[in-house]
Amino acid sequence: MKKISLAKQILLALILGLIFGIIANNFFPQTVNATLAKWILVPVGNIFLRGIKFIVVPLVLFSLIVGTASLGDIRKLGRIGGKIIVYYLATTALAITIALILANITNPGVGLNLTSSAEFKANQAPFIMDIFVNMIPTNPFESLVKGEMLQIIVFSILFGVCITLVGEKAKGLLNVIEQANEVCLKLIGVVMLFAPYGVFALISNVLMSQGMKVLIPLLKYGLTVLFALLLQLVVIYGSMLKVLGRVNPINFFKKFWTVMVVAFSTSSSNATIPVNLKICEEKLGIPESIASFTIPLGATINMDGTAIMQGVATVFIAQLYGKNLTITQLIVVVLTATLASIGTAGVPGAGIVMLTMVLQQVGLPVEGIAFILPIDRILDMCRTVVNVTGDAVGTTIVANSEKELNIDTYNSLNI
């Protein structure tokens, strides 16, 4: 019998996890669920997450240095960087605009009388200029230990640029870094062998503990977020691939869905970086020199799915408190959410931190976040899918604009 591919194993694990989680939540005693979570699901899920996360920092470091140095021409680096940053900021602004329009059409918070026992303590929103200042590491080794992604990215790019400037004298160092990068890529393959078990455990645990009942009072809000995410994923990204990238969007989604499953189960853009890089380079035909630069950067500053949640949540919370947002306030929401996406950690729950900043800017009570927390874990999984897909779509478009996309690989039937 033909061996089932890893991608199909992951998809099967996702489906079985969804079914098992719903059944367990509705029919198993709570003590049984708690025991399953404590002894099996949580440990297995965490092992998978830790396996992916431990490779993220060295992979980003080595791949960015190699990618930057391999570009050779500093002007080319600036050109690619300019294109991808414009794309990331533009799509984030577009995503939240779509969310605000849909939310004002569906009015998810009108007529609801919700009460919440959840507590939410807001962190002080950072000054926007501090974000840019903090991009520069004072100690790169400390940044690596703490996993400060923006600082790692800046250091890696500067290091790669200087390798290019030094030239032949740094060739030996570059060879060592390239070899280290290859080892990291091999590690990804080893860790991904455990993916089906990890995906099953993570999905099962979420649905087993949350269930579908939490969706009922917040159904309108949840469906508005999901519809906006689907619109961004299929219509916006599909159109961009067709018009700007001049490639077949169907081929992209056929090959990229494995990354979507991993993003859905982990709820972390950073944790998905290794798989995203692997698919972009091996299946979509994007050169390592571009993917290794744009994908880690996108996981840090490009959060279209999170922006969509913030747009809908802002309108939802405003309606719960009986407040009408003015056009000026809506524009502030778009600008704040777009800028807040820069430097926000690509980890589960980061969107809530960003939402705090947005609510404070338009004068809405941050305590309103407590109302959306019951279903945020489920929506977080969905918006992470859009976040990582946006990174890969932008990378594909930029690669083809530089005439470096391998069209034969992109159009091949090797899925």
Which residue has 């033909």 as its token pair?
2
Contact status, residue 45 vs residue 198, Cβ threshold 8 Å = yes
Q: Give dist(CA 319, CA 112) in Å, integer.
A: 9
- Count of beta carbons in the 10 Å neighbourhood of residue 31: 8
**pLDDT truncated to tens, each residue of the chain (415 aa)?**
347 777 778 888 888 988 998 899 888 898 998 999 899 988 998 888 788 778 878 887 887 788 778 766 677 778 888 899 899 989 988 998 999 999 999 988 777 665 554 554 555 555 656 767 877 889 999 988 887 777 887 898 889 889 888 888 988 998 999 899 888 878 877 887 888 898 898 888 877 877 666 666 678 898 999 999 999 999 999 999 999 999 999 999 999 999 999 899 888 888 888 889 989 999 999 998 889 888 988 887 788 998 899 899 999 988 888 888 888 888 888 887 777 666 555 455 566 767 877 887 788 887 777 778 777 878 888 999 999 999 999 999 999 999 999 999 999 877 6
pTM of the model: 0.81
Q: What is the pLDDT of residue 77?
A: 78
Contact status, residue 347 vs residue 116, Cβ threshold 8 Å = no
- 3-state SS, residue 201: helix
Q: What is the pLDDT of residue 1?
A: 37
Q: What is the pLDDT of residue 269?
A: 83
Q: What is the pLDDT of residue 239?
A: 95
Tell me the two tokens of residue 368.
């309103």
Q: Give dist(CA 143, CA 64) in Å, integer.
A: 15
Q: b vs e for 85-121, b when ≥16 Cβ sit within 10 Å of the residue's Cβ?
A: bebbbebbbbbbbbbbebbbebebbeeeeeeeeeebe
Dihedral sign of CA atoms 351, 197, 261, 29 in order: negative
Q: Give dist(CA 253, CA 188) in Å, integer.
A: 21
26-to-21, 22, 32, 209, 210 alpha-carbon distances in Å: 9, 6, 12, 10, 11
- Concatenated DSSP letters for 114-146? --------PPPPPPHHHHHHTTS-S-HHHHHHH
Contact status, residue 221 vs residue 315, Cβ threshold 8 Å = no
Supply angle C-alpha 130, 136, 138, rounded to 5: 110
The CA-to-CA distance between both ends of the chain, in Å, stands at 19
Q: What is the pLDDT of residue 248?
A: 94
Which amino acid belongs to residue 409? T
- Count of beta carbons in the 10 Å neighbourhood of residue 167: 8
Q: What is the pLDDT of residue 247?
A: 94
Supply angle C-alpha 54, 397, 149, rounded to 5: 25
